[in-house]
Amino acid sequence: MSVVKINVLSVSPEARETLEQRFAKRAGVVESSDGFEWFELLRPVEGTDQYLVYTRWRSEEDFQKWHASQDFNRGHAGGAAEGAEPPRPAAHASQIWSFEVLQQSGPKNEA
């Protein structure tokens, strides 16, 4: 059963462009992590300052292995060179939501 991790990032209006640029330049290492299934960055349209970083994993164990990995640490260093001070975070608050996938569906094939 897959698991979904949603990182909820509260981002002020003046930091939105910075956050989006950082994600656009992200290393993309997560895509080759064992058990990784999907990634999406969701921009708020109205009524909130919270971006959602959606990832889906084959299992909780796969997510935890990636979260504890050097690849995770490098990917979250904000583009700083090794040993350098990372730039300030674009988000002013963050929390992780965790879910198990109970049902899923996709588009129906039209014949």
9 lies in some domain: yes
28 lies in some domain: yes
82 lies in some domain: no
83 lies in some domain: no
Determine the pLDDT at residue 80: 54
Determine the pLDDT at residue 85: 66
Find the domain containing 22 and state its range. 3-77+90-100
85 lies in some domain: no
Q: How far, CA to CA in Å, does 23 sit from each of 39, 42, 61, 69?
A: 11, 11, 25, 19
Which residues are CB-contacts of 92 (< 8 A; sequence separation ≥ 6)?
Answer: 10, 11, 12, 15
Determine the pLDDT at residue 25: 85
CA separation for the pair 7, 11 (Å, rounded): 12
107 lies in some domain: no
Residues of the chain with pLDDT below 70 are: 76-86, 111
Residue where the block lists tokens 């708020």 = 44
Give the CATH number of the domain where residue 60 resides: 3.30.70.100
Determine the pLDDT at residue 26: 79
How many domains does one find in the chain? 1
Determine the pLDDT at residue 44: 97
Determine the pLDDT at residue 49: 95
Determine the pLDDT at residue 79: 54
Q: How far, CA to CA in Å, does 109 sit from each of 22, 24, 38?
A: 37, 32, 22
Tokens of 94: 């963050």
- The model carries a pTM of 0.83
